[in-house]
Every structure is written in C-alpha cells, then in structure tokens.
Amino acid sequence: MVHDVSAETGQPAVRHQARSVHAAVALQADRARCRATLFDRVEQIPRLIASTVTLPDLSSGVAELVGIRAALAALAEETGRTFQDGARLLSPRQALGDGADVYVLTGLPQPPLPVALISIGPDQTLSRLLTSVLRSTPIRLTQLQVSEQAGGGRPSAAAVEQWLRQVRPGVIVLAYDGGTTDEWATALDGIRGVVEDVEAPALGLVVGPEAHQEQAAEAIGDQLELVGVDPSAHETASVTLALTTELRERYKEAVRQALTAHQLGSLPFVDLVEAIELSVAFTHRRTAQSTLLVHLDCGMLLMWAHDGQAATAFYAERDLGFGAAELSRIAPERIARWLPIQYPLESLTEWLLNRSLRPLAALETREDTLIASAVLREALADGVADLGLRPPADVQLIIASSWFAELPPALVALLLLDSVQPLPSQGLVTLALDDVDLFAAAGALATVHPGYAGAVLEQDALIPLAHCIVVRGEGAEGALAVRGELRIDGVGQRFSVPYGSLHLLQLPETGTIELSLELEPGFRAGAGEPGASVELSGESGLSWAKLGLLIDARGRPLQLPDATELRLARVASWLADLGWQVR
C-alpha cells in the first residue's frame, strides 16, 4: 500500500502523553521470540540500555503472552532492575532505577488475522489494489479468483466452499473485477456453505457496485455481518483508509482481549506493521533518503519510503521459520543460481520443508547460511517488485532487521545488493542492521512519547553494515572499470576494480575518511557522467561500517552466466571478493 508521509509527524499526536518519561520498556512478541528492551536517560538523552530475547514455549496455546513475562524477567536479570511486582508492571520508574514510566507492546502477539480475498471476474484491477492495501495490515492473505476466464475455468460453489474451509478466514473480502451475476452467485453459494460453521468468518467486506452488494446481502446477509462499499462512489484513499482501519482494529481487539486475560490489559499495543511504519517514516524525513526496510521473523515485512511516499507489504506466510513451506513454492532453479556449489534441485525444496518443521532451529552450517541467503534473494526480489521497486532501484539506505544478524555480514551484504540491485542517484548506498529491532520498539514508543522515540532512533537504532559505491556500465569481463584511492587521516591506499567484481575496503572507527574514484570510459557512479571522477568524504555519508566500503563494479542489472560451471565460479568469486571462502 502506498501512502503520503510528507506531512506525517511519525506518530499519532492524539495519543501523546505530555508527562516526562525517564525510563521506558518496549516489549515485542511473536511466535518466534519475545524481546524486552529497556531505554533510560543518560545525561538527559534517551538511550538504549539493554535488550533481551527469550524463545516462547510453543507447547502453550498463548506462548507469546507467556513469553512477555519471561522476557521481562530476563531483562531484570541482565540489568539488576525489577520490572514486575507480582502480576503488575512496576511503574513509574523508582528512585533506584526499578520499573519504568512507560511500557508498550508491539509485534504479533496473536496470529495474523486470516483474510480471504475473492476476486470475482476477469479484470483483476480492483483485486490488485486491494491486495496492496491488505498487505499493509497484520493479516495472513489468501486469494481466489472466480471467473469463467480464470485458468482452469470458473471454480464451482463446492470448490469455493472447500477452499474457504482450508483457509478458515476471519474476514472475507469480495472484489468486483467485472464479474457477472452468475459468477457472484457461485462465490456467494460457496460462502453460504461455511457461514454457519463453528469457526465461521466474522465479517464480509463487499467492494463493488451497489447491485452486487444487494446480491450479497440477500444471499448471506442473515448469516454474516456485511459491510459494503462502492469504489466508484468514493475516493480510493478513503476506501483504503477505511479498510486498513477496520482490519487493524480487529487485530488490536483480539490482542487486547488476550492481554486482559493475562492481567496485562493496561499495556498499550501497537502492531508490528504500524510501529515500523512510524520509524521508517521518521528516518526518511530525517535523512531525506530513499529508504527500504526488510524485516524478517514471523513473516516478511517490506517498507519503501521515497519522495514523501511510503509503500508497505507484509507477507505473514513467508519466512525461513514457520513460513518456510510457502517459500518452497519458489522454483528451485531460481534459488540454485545464487549458490556457488551445485545442489540437486529437489534438495533445496526439501531444505525449506525441513525448516518449516523446525522453525526455531538456528542456521548451524555454512551450507545452511548459503542456502538461506539464496532463498532470501528471490523472496526479497519478489517482495520489492510488489512494492513497485524494480532494479535498478534508486535506494540510498537499506535496513535489515535483527534476524539478518545471524548471517555472516558478507552474505547479508550480497543478498541485499543482489535482490534489490540498488542504483543510487548519488552512487552511494548504505546497508544497515537494526540489530535489536529498535525500529519496532521506537515506533511503538512514538505513539506514547514521540520525542523520546525520535531520540532513541537517532542515537541507537542502526549499525552500519557496509557502504557501497555502485558502478554502472558494461565492458569485457575482467577489464578495468574503476581505479581509486582511499585516504584515512591523509594516508592513501590505492586500488583498482575490474568489471564484473566487487572490492572491499576496511574502514576505521575513527579518523578522517576520503575516497577518490577514477572511472574508465563507459562507466559511471550513480547519475554521474561516464568516465568522470568522484570525490567522497564523511560529509557525503562515509563513516565506519562493520563490513567496510564496497565497490560494486558488477553493473546493473546483474547478469549471471547461463553455463553452470561459469555461474558457480562467478558466484564463488563474488563471495571471495568479500572475504567469504566457499570451502
């Protein structure tokens, strides 16, 4: 979903509390992990103090909520402070440091709301818009087309009913895509078969002309709560806002009920998607950079902020844990092309299915990390394409969530560069890690105390993983693309980079950094002229980064050889360029 962020403050001001906040605790919970993060003022500035993670007990039906208490206990043990007085959260902050002034909860402490989108008719225009809108909310989306022109023909009412029993949606969305009255009747007859089940849908949204809203009301209105909207009679923005608000409120209500049952009813809750949206919007305004965030844990969340606009896509069903089986639908040939070793194609699918059976297992071997990074290249490429971000992409900042900290830095850098294929207008893109998921924590805090959250984001949110200069152009493989000199406190280090390769330069934590590049004819950095010289310094964004400074002279778009042996060697050479030997 795309929305305007140019006038946003990054937080809902109506929920802002004016009272002073000294210490704050942000809790994040989902099926994969529960995190407790403590912030406190250091010399009057809000700073990160500690962050602890616990794994939920999946044998419990409410593992996420039980995990909140365990994460708080772990935080207390690490900091020597007390945060719980029996079942009560200790607040406000005490003179000796115990407790906190503010507690907030984010994440996905309840399963994402299952939503079934039924597209009726051959057009797909409205359903594509609704898909974009729905993916900006904490839901699990499944789609079905009912049309004579669909592949395989129109499904029967019995097939629609069977599909709904498998999906078990809490909400059904019916979208008018030019469907006939008969096609609508087929969909409605299928829905009628499930609306009286014990776990029947709670709501039906009919997005289409009034005639089809009336047809739905006559068919299932007595059994299912229906809300209708005619998109031709309303502005798109008002339709999308109403839809996202309805779904987010339904999810929040489910969380509030669960929190109340566990004596945590007073704990403010902000869902993961909304929390990270607020932090990304803040970062985009502060940096004025085209920013892409990739969050992976229970699902995959992508956000792209650029030119005062933001697009969001949440895939509850895609990750390398509980959602690994969904990623097994990626053609194994696509995964294999990013691997430096030849694997049987069926073994790649089996690897993903095994991950879904052991969703919390660590990536234990080099083979695991290689396959994981190859899978994520394709999953991210599909996701960013859904956002409308297609290579070569003008992105200056790419942020990866804490999950990526489990991979070697070289693999993280390569999978981000290869999947997004950034081509920043100024030539420089920064890759950064949100290593303790502060974007989620700060976004939730922003709904209570925006100034406090903003200070946390500016001081502690990101660890630079790498800065990358992207060199664009074409040439003979191995021919010189760029020469340059890196100067640290005036001491120079010269280098040259052939076309088709990467070059890694280490950067110090302190000192003055200056970079000079001399591009060969036919090659350019960003939007610069071919063969032009480039000068960069700390004022241009160069600073220490965990991996260092990359010169990416592989061109855009990336090209992989068709021949297997050449492709394997090419991928292995890119890894070696970053210091990661395959064997």
**Domain boundary, last residue among 77, 107, 137:** 107
Same domain, 65 and 14: yes
What is the spatial distance between Cα 314 and Cα 140, in angstroms, rounded to a whole number? 9
For residue 219, being part of any structural domain is answered with: yes
- Per residue, what are the HEC states of 128-160? HHHHHHHCCCCEEEEEEEECCCCCCCCCCHHHH
What is the spatial distance between Cα 554 and Cα 413, in angstroms, rounded to a whole number? 14
Same domain, 233 and 132: yes
| Packing angle, helices 125-134 and 236-261, rounded to 10 | 40
Residue 70 CB coordination number (10 Å):
18
**Domain boundary, last residue among 249, 265, 289:** 249
Same domain, 142 and 65: no
Same domain, 226 and 180: yes
For residue 26, being part of any structural domain is answered with: yes
For residue 173, being part of any structural domain is answered with: yes
Per-residue model confidence as pLDDT tens for the chain (583 residues): 544 544 333 343 334 444 689 999 999 999 889 999 999 999 999 999 999 999 877 666 566 777 899 999 999 999 999 999 998 999 999 999 999 999 999 999 999 999 999 999 999 999 999 999 999 999 999 999 999 877 667 899 999 999 999 999 999 999 999 999 999 999 999 999 999 887 889 999 999 999 999 999 999 999 999 999 999 898 888 888 999 999 999 999 999 999 998 889 999 999 999 999 999 999 999 999 999 999 999 999 999 999 989 999 999 999 999 999 999 999 999 999 999 999 999 999 999 999 999 998 999 899 999 999 999 999 999 999 999 998 888 999 999 999 999 899 999 999 999 999 999 988 899 999 999 999 999 999 999 999 999 999 999 999 999 999 999 998 898 899 999 999 999 999 999 999 999 999 999 998 999 999 999 999 999 878 899 899 998 777 789 999 999 999 999 999 999 999 999 999 999 999 999 887 7
Same domain, 208 and 126: yes
What is the spatial distance between Cα 413 and Cα 423, in angstroms, rounded to a whole number? 15
For residue 267, being part of any structural domain is answered with: no
For residue 378, being part of any structural domain is answered with: no
Residues contacting residue 450 through CB under 8 Å, at least 6 positions apart? 9, 10, 11, 13, 16
For residue 145, being part of any structural domain is answered with: yes
Same domain, 459 and 573: yes
Tokens 């907030």 -> residue: 104
Same domain, 305 and 415: yes
Same domain, 128 and 166: yes
Are 65 and 109 in contact by the 8 Å Cβ rule? The answer is: yes
For residue 370, being part of any structural domain is answered with: no
CATH number at residue 174: 3.40.50.360
| Rounded alpha-carbon distances, angstroms, from residue 106 to 334, 386, 446, 451 | 35, 25, 12, 18
**Domain boundary, last residue among 57, 87, 107:** 107
> Given this model, what pLDDT does residue 59 score?
62
What counts of helices (H) and strands (E) characterise the chain? Answer: 15, 25
User: Which residues form the domain of 72?
Assistant: 2-107
CATH number at residue 52: 3.30.420
Same domain, 445 and 566: yes
Same domain, 287 and 240: no
Residues contacting residue 525 through CB under 8 Å, at least 6 positions apart? 427, 469, 470, 471, 472, 482, 517, 519, 532, 534
- Rounded to two decimals, the pTM is 0.94
Domain tally for the chain?
Answer: 3
Same domain, 548 and 452: yes
Same domain, 171 and 205: yes
Can the peptide bond before residue 359 be classed as cis, meaning omega within 30 degrees of 0?
no
- Per residue, what are the HEC states of 414-451? HHHHHHHCECCCCCEEEEEECCCCHHHHHHHHHCCCHH
- Eight-state DSSP code of residue 269: B
For residue 475, being part of any structural domain is answered with: yes
Helix (H, G, I), strand (E, B) or coil at 163: helix
